[in-house]
Amino acid sequence: MTSPSTGPRSGEADGAPRGERFYQGLLDEETRPVPASLRATSAAPPHDAAIPPARYFDPETHRLEVERVWSRVWQMACREEQIPEVGDSVVYDIADTSLIVVRTAPGEIRAFHNSCLHRGTQLRNRSGHVTRLRCPYHGFTWNLDGSLREIPCAWDFPQIDPATFRLPEARVGAWGGFVFVNTDPQAGPLEEYLENMPSHFAQWPLEDRYLTGHVVREMPCNWKVALEAFIEAYHTMTVHPQLLRTAADTLTEYDVYGAHVSRMITAVGISSEHLDRELDDVEIVKAMLGSPEADITLEPGSTARQVLADRVRASLHRRTGRDYSHITDAEALDGIEYFLFPNFMPWGGYLTAFAYRFRPNGNDPDSCVIDIMVLEPVPESGPRPPAAKTRYIGPDESWTDAPELGVFGRVFNQDGARFERVQRGLRASVRTSGTLARYQESRIRHFHATLETYLAQTD
Ligand code: FES
Ligand SMILES: [Fe+2]
């Protein structure tokens, strides 16, 4: 009998973890050149560190996260195409910080602290087009570039120097069509912060995509509880059983890089090892297409992955006019999900074209806000399509009320149905730490190691 910690089912039987061995073996079967990034394996060293439950509900932890994480990190504020015209703005809130992210010139975006310099009133309480920033209380007004435009009864404010009475700004950076902000004037540049993300995404340029969906919802759990459900595939067999026919869940590859970036890749078009029996290729194709009754035959020698990847290439070409004949089956099909500390997850590849963001909801450690963005490649010719409007889903609604999420609405409902129970269970815990799988939850451990580094920084 094989012991649980050794042998072929162990994570470390011959050096590389089994998910990595499996996935890299799958890449060996590709008939097209495999991008170097897919070969850039970087398994975390085996470790047993676990997370104290209090980290998910303790108000002091939240306070420290605000002071030492949210006030120092680069964070994704919006897509560039959400503010295409000069004067278009998005309000980005994180805990008590609120920023008005505005396009101030065709090639310039600024982020102003959303607080009037008179008596503090919030200048904007929603996204939208502005020609100036006018406070709704006494009418102090600033130009789009942050310079002062008008003070009613200026004679009564002789102490104000109009030349320096500008709206304070946060730093702004851009990558992949996303706008990033950082409220720390001492922070290093975004380019450094992104570590290897730009080079890994070179073959999946996210700046050549546009927002076809943006769905926002509050959920009754700490932001880290929600986030962690999206950086492991271990829960698939329990939470998303319908995916087992078409996804190699527990054979996922997990990689951790630097301090800020990690990745997982789940092969699609392959059935899970947790099904009662292995599916044949025709059954996998039918399951993937959602048509069990369809009359499908495969060419001799072709696999479900090849057939499905060809369909994705053809569909992408139809939708965009671009040529996708060079992309590997892996890029066409697989779930290639990256994580950028502390809360941003863009997907590489083409079938799962999402980007996620997880934030605390104000200062409530038991509540968070999830953003799900859907990113479609921009057509090769013609004008750049406009960004989809943001859809807010209420507490009594369902992710499936957002048709732009397609079949994933059900998947998000399945995840979300657990969140409140996780949060309550963490509060009910009598232990000082949880337990983490060594490999499949290595990204969670990596995330917390970086979080701990930030929380420990006092200067
Ligand atoms: S608080 Fe803004 S003008 Fe008075
Ligand atoms: Fe999930």
Quote the ligand 2 centre to 215 CA distance (angstroms).
Answer: 17
240 and 176 together in one domain: no
CATH code (residue 157): 2.102.10.10
For residue 407, being part of any structural domain is answered with: yes
Q: How far apart (Å, rounded) are the C-alpha atoms in residues 357 and 365?
A: 16
Average pLDDT, the chain: 95
For residue 118, being part of any structural domain is answered with: yes
CB 110, CB 169: distance < 8 Å: yes
CB 211, CB 84: distance < 8 Å: no
For residue 65, being part of any structural domain is answered with: no
The average pLDDT across 298-318 equals 95
Q: Is the pLDDT of residue 6 over 60?
A: no
Q: Across the strands, what pairs with 79?
A: 178
Q: Residue 14's pLDDT band (boundaries 50, 70, 90)?
A: low
For residue 13, being part of any structural domain is answered with: no
350 and 228 together in one domain: yes
Phi, psi for residue 446 in degrees, rounded to 5? -60, -45
The average pLDDT across 18-32 equals 97
Instruction: Check pocket membership of 149 for ligand 1, CB cut-off 6 A.
Output: no
Those residues with Cβ within 8 angstroms of residue 132's Cβ, 6 or more apart along the chain or in another chain: 141, 142, 143, 144, 149
Q: Is the pLDDT of residue 62 over 90?
A: yes
pLDDT tens profile 122-149: 999 999 999 999 999 999 999 999 999 9
238 and 172 together in one domain: no
| Boundary-marking domain end, from 191, 224, 240 | 191
Which residues keep their CB under 5 angstroms from ion ligand 2?
415
Q: Is the pLDDT of residue 5 over 70?
A: no
User: Which domain, by its residues, includes 379?
Assistant: 18-57+209-456
CATH code (residue 450): 3.90.380.10
The pLDDT score that the predictor gives to residue 9 is 43
Those residues with Cβ within 8 angstroms of residue 130's Cβ, 6 or more apart along the chain or in another chain: 87, 89, 102, 124, 144
98 and 128 together in one domain: yes
279 and 414 together in one domain: yes
Rounded alpha-carbon distances, angstroms, from residue 134 to 63, 85, 167: 31, 19, 12
Instruction: Check pocket membership of 157 for ligand 1, CB cut-off 6 A.
Output: no
346 and 237 together in one domain: yes
The pLDDT score that the predictor gives to residue 12 is 54
215 and 187 together in one domain: no
pLDDT tens profile 238-294: 999 999 999 999 999 999 999 999 999 999 999 999 999 989 999 999 999 988 888
pLDDT tens profile 69-81: 999 999 999 999 9
Residue type, 344: F
For residue 202, being part of any structural domain is answered with: no
Q: Residue 1's pLDDT band (boundaries 50, 70, 90)?
A: very low
176 and 295 together in one domain: no
186 and 322 together in one domain: no
Query: For the chain, what percentages of helix, strand and coil (3-state, to nearest 5) are there?
Result: 30, 25, 45
51 and 86 together in one domain: no
With tokens 């605390």, the residue in question is 360
Q: Phi/psi zone of residue 349: left (φ > 0), alpha (ψ -120 to 50 degrees), beta?
A: left
Query: At how many degrees (to 10) do helices 281-289 and 304-320 cross?
Result: 30
pLDDT tens profile 217-239: 999 999 999 999 999 999 999 99
264 and 346 together in one domain: yes
Query: Which ligand 1 atom is the nearest neighbour of the CA of 121?
Result: 1
Alpha helix ranges (H) inside 90-239 = 190-193, 197-200, 223-228, 236-239
For residue 201, being part of any structural domain is answered with: no
The pLDDT score that the predictor gives to residue 458 is 87
264 and 332 together in one domain: yes
The pLDDT score that the predictor gives to residue 352 is 87
For residue 12, being part of any structural domain is answered with: no
The pLDDT score that the predictor gives to residue 224 is 98
Q: What pTM value is reported for the model?
A: 0.95
Number of separate domains in the chain:
2
| Boundary-marking domain end, from 158, 191, 224 | 191
The pLDDT score that the predictor gives to residue 4 is 41
For residue 62, being part of any structural domain is answered with: no
Rounded alpha-carbon distances, angstroms, from residue 427 to 54, 55, 349, 423: 7, 10, 38, 6
Q: Ligand nearest 121 Cα, by number?
A: 1
